[in-house]
Amino acid sequence: MKLYEMTGAFNEIFAMMEDGEELNYSTLEDTLQALEGAIEEKVGNIAKMIKSLEVQAEGFDKEAKRLTDKKRTIENKIKWLKEYLLQAMEATAKDKILTDIGTVRRQKSPAGVSVTDPDEIPQNYWFTPEPELDKKLILADLKSGVNIPGVQLRQGYHIRIQ
């Protein structure tokens, strides 16, 4: 019998008692005790299931954190290896090397803005109400040849494996 069925049977018996129906109190008492024991057992089993699932969920959280940390470590290693490759290719003045898994290229990264002195940057390059730089506008102006004090155009390289 399911828990909701047991609680329904309990409620029916109490409703019959309130309605004043003729009942065999000995049978009624046995039925109530049996239902009560069954409900307690069912509730106990459900509580055990909840505790087990909570432990399982906690284990998943720990495993997710472990995997996230492992992913971060691998991503840092990839970043370091790409920087190492970039330095080696710059030192040997090579932009392209053919390998057995593909071509390794040293490519220009998209141009960016490097802030050298924020106090020198003209006010029209700041967002308001909070002071925040409009780097897209600065980049566009720098590319078009406008000289902006306090910033400079930055052009880097990155490794691409195809």
Tell me what the mean pLDDT of segment 44-64 comes to: 90
Position 100 pLDDT exceeds 70:
yes
Strand duo 112-115 + 126-127: pairing = unpaired
Report field, pTM of the whole predicted structure over 0.85: no
Percentage above 90 pLDDT, the chain: 35
Tell me what the mean pLDDT of segment 14-34 comes to: 66
Q: Is the dihedral of CA 129, 130, 135, 136 positive or negative?
A: negative
> What is the spatial distance between Cα 149 and Cα 118, in angstroms, rounded to a whole number?
9
Domain ranges of the chain: 3-89, 95-161
